Amino acid sequence: MFSRLRISTVALSLVVLTAAATTARAQDTYGSMAKGEQVNGVSCDSQEGSRIHIHQHLVIFDHGKQVHIPENVGQVPLARCLYWIHTHTPDGIIHIEAPQNRSFTLGDFFAIWGQPLSRTQAATAHGTKKQPLHVWVNGKPYVGDPSKIALVPHADIVIEAGPPFLKPPVFTNWGKL
């Protein structure tokens, strides 16, 4: 009896520790993700909009290591809503499915994701004032505030904190997007 109780206690402790670690990782990855309130004029609606339907690709590198961009950014199950800017999969594809014509920026996506974006930080990737982020849009260097990058159809955005600064990969797997 004592052995079963001890094994059960150890098993329960492992479950609690695993849950705590998972929660901590989720908070690091998801930040303070929006929970259904309007963000930068972007609503969270019960279904995807159909007026605008475009996609972009985002990759972030932190000193050579790729930063995880999670699936389901902008999807709020508890509120049963979906932001006009969101992800479905963890591959960096950003979906914009909006019910009205308007422009969107990378800053809008980061605000919904709940992650910082500036000349020296993108999510968990940190540069410095002396060594700011390197940003590319469609293979060309981008100079300026990365939060102002327009999310146009098939924009391919690469953000790097370094060194090293790798040659920006080119995304070509647009398929039916």
Would you list the domain boundaries of the chain? 44-161
> Which two tokens mark 44?
């969270």
DSSP character at residue 15: H
Give the pLDDT confidence of 3-31 residue by residue, as tens digits: 554 544 444 343 333 333 333 333 344 45
- The 3-state secondary structure of 91-131 reads CCEEEEEECCCCCCEHHHHHHHHCCCECCCEECCEECCCCC
| Cα R_g (the chain), whole angstroms | 19
37 token code pair: 């309130």
Average pLDDT over residues 56-83: 96
Position with higher pLDDT, 93 vs 30: 93
104-126 burial, b at 16+ Cβ within 10 Å, e below that, comes to bbbbbbbbbbbbbbebbbbbbbe
**Three-state secondary structure call for residue 88:** coil
| pLDDT digits 0-9 by tens, 141-167 | 999 999 999 999 999 999 999 999 989
Contact 166, 68 (CB under 8 A): no
Q: Is 175 strand, coil or helix?
A: coil
Question: What pTM was estimated for this model as a whole?
Answer: 0.82
